[in-house]
């Protein structure tokens, strides 16, 4: 019996802990489709995240809340096809497990089995989230937690701002991180908390803390593809633009538009050609066929020119009504 082997992953779940122990920083980057995934894998990132930030970056929403399981599933499957040797984490979107754990498990199974994700990310550390994470881990599904600024709770938080600036908030964060560790997560994404808070959390735990907007002392970093490459209008403070992607693409696309308008594109390089004799033969056979058909219907073949071309005269109707079917399903030609 032959066994089917999937492509070997460069990074595995135990590597989250191994990297932390070896003080090797974990590099994570979002990707939302096949092409982006190919680019991120080729760049050598350890982990790809199909974040529900795709709601903003790709679908044009103003928050992650409208993102559906179908959106996540399609994106995850295209990312895993584009980055077959990468460890891919997929977000559980808003309300994909809160209404019932059974539905949550079904949705999680789809992202793993159909989407090809290696792990899932769950936001927050509410009682429902912790119970759900425990069930996933028990089913053999690795989970990455997400604390600090949790965009799925934007309506409760009020604004996208730095979290855990007061003692009570820091204590809450420490308790939540402890809860996630006990529930069995393999890493925590920590979004938008002060550098010192992130450092303290990283020092407290064996768990890798993967920061975004949380300073340099985390055990790794995650950033949004569009922010790094300057593809969105919005530039969060925590992001560094490595290229003015939008500007570069804009210039290239404008050049394309001008080239087409000015007949500078396509050139011979982008075109194919055949011998002119083939065209001449095809045209005369076509015209002969046309004459036959028109004459069969009692029409006149006077419109045929010496050079076998048709001279179309909109004022002269030489073709009977019902011959219209020869001219592309009903658009009547008036032949001279
Ligand atoms: O959805 C996402 O892209 C995320 C990152 C910002 C961590 O959760």
Instruction: Report the residue among 30, 89, 117 best suited for mutation to probe ligand 1: largest number of ligand atoms under 8 A from its CB.
Output: 30
The residue ranges of every structural domain in the chain are: 13-248, 276-326
The residue whose CA is least distant from atom 5 of ligand 1 is: 51
Assign 246 to helix, strand or coil: helix
- Indicate the DSSP class of residue 213: S
Whether the CB-CB separation of 37 and 79 falls below 8 Å is answered with yes
The two three-digit tokens of residue 18, written as one number: 């191994």
d(CA 129, CA 145): 9
pLDDT of residue 3: 47
Assign 271 to helix, strand or coil: coil
pLDDT of residue 298: 86
Task: State phi, psi for 128 to the nearest 5 degrees.
Answer: -65, -40
Taking 50 as the threshold, does the pLDDT of residue 137 lie above it? yes
pLDDT one-digit tens code per residue, 78-131: 999 999 999 999 999 999 999 999 999 999 999 999 999 999 999 999 999 999
Sequence-distant contacts of 324-330: CB under 8 A, at least 24 apart: 326/290, 326/293
Tell how far the Cα of 54 is from the centroid of ligand 1, in angstroms. Answer: 9
The architecture CATH gives domain 13-248: Alpha-Beta Barrel (3.20)
* Banded model confidence at residue 321, pLDDT cuts 50, 70, 90: very low
Averaged confidence pLDDT in the chain? 90
Name residues contacting ligand 1 (CB within 6 A). 30, 49, 51-53, 91, 146, 189, 191, 212, 222, 224
Q: Which of 191, 255, 288, 292 is catalytic?
A: 191
Q: Which atom of ligand 1 lies at the shortest distance from residue 212's CA? A: 7
pLDDT of residue 310: 53
pLDDT one-digit tens code per residue, 144-157: 999 999 999 999 99
Q: Percentage helix, strand, coil, to 5, in the chain?
A: 45, 10, 45
pLDDT one-digit tens code per residue, 248-303: 999 999 999 999 999 999 999 999 999 999 999 999 999 999 889 888 988 877 76
191 catalytic residue (yes or no): yes
Q: Which atom of ligand 1 lies at the shortest distance from residue 151's CA? A: 8
Q: How many other C-beta atoms lie within 10 A of the C-beta of residue 106?
A: 13
Burial of 336 (0-12, 13-18, 19+ CB in 10 A): middle
* Banded model confidence at residue 315, pLDDT cuts 50, 70, 90: low
* Banded model confidence at residue 233, pLDDT cuts 50, 70, 90: confident
pLDDT of residue 9: 81
d(CA 94, CA 65): 6
The residue whose CA is least distant from atom 2 of ligand 1 is: 51
Cα torsion for 208, 212, 216, 220, to the nearest 10°?
A: 30
Taking 70 as the threshold, does the pLDDT of residue 163 lie above it? yes
- Reduce the secondary structure of 298-324 to three states and give it as a string: CCCCCCECCCCCECECCCCCCCCHHHH
**Comparing C-alpha atoms, which of 152, 133, 18, 134 is closest to residue 87?**
18
Q: Which atom of ligand 1 lies at the shortest distance from residue 222's CA? A: 7
């Amino acid at each position: 019996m032959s066994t089917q082997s999937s492509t070997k992953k460069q990074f595995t779940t135990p590597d989250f802990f191994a990297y932390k122990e070896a003080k090797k920083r974990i590099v994570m980057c979002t990707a939302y489709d096949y092409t982006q995934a190919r680019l991120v894998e080729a760049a050598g990132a350890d982990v790809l995240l199909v974040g529900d930030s795709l709601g903003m970056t790709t679908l044009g929403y103003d928050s992650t809340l409208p993102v559906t399981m179908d959106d996540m599933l399609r994106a995850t499957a295209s990312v895993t096809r584009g980055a077959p040797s990468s460890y891919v984490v997929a977000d559980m979107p808003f309300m994909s497990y809160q209404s019932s754990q059974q539905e949550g498990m079904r949705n999680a199974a789809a992202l793993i089995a159909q989407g090809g994700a290696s792990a899932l990310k769950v936001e927050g550390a509410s009682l429902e989230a912790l119970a759900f994470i425990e069930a996933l881990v028990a089913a053999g599904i690795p989970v990455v937690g997400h604390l600090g600024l949790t965009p799925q709770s934007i309506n409760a938080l009020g604004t996208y701002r730095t979290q855990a600036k007061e003692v009570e908030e820091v204590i809450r964060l420490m308790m939540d991180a402890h809860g996630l560790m006990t529930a069995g997560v393999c890493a925590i994404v920590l979004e938008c908390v002060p550098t010192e808070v992130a450092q303290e959390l990283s020092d407290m735990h064996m768990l890798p803390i993967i920061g975004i907007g949380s300073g340099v002392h985390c055990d790794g970093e995650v950033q949004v593809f569009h922010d790094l490459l300057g593809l969105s209008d919005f530039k969060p403070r925590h992001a560094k633009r490595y290229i003015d992607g939008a500007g570069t693409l804009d210039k290239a696309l404008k050049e394309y538009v001008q080239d087409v308008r000015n007949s500078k594109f396509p050139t011979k390089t982008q075109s194919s050609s055949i011998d002119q004799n083939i065209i001449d033969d095809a045209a005369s056979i076509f015209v002969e066929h046309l004459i036959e058909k028109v004459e069969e219907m009692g029409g006149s073949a006077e419109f045929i020119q010496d050079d076998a071309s048709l001279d179309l005269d909109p004022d002269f109707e030489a073709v009977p009504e019902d011959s219209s079917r020869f001219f592309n399903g009903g658009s009547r030609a008036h032949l001279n």
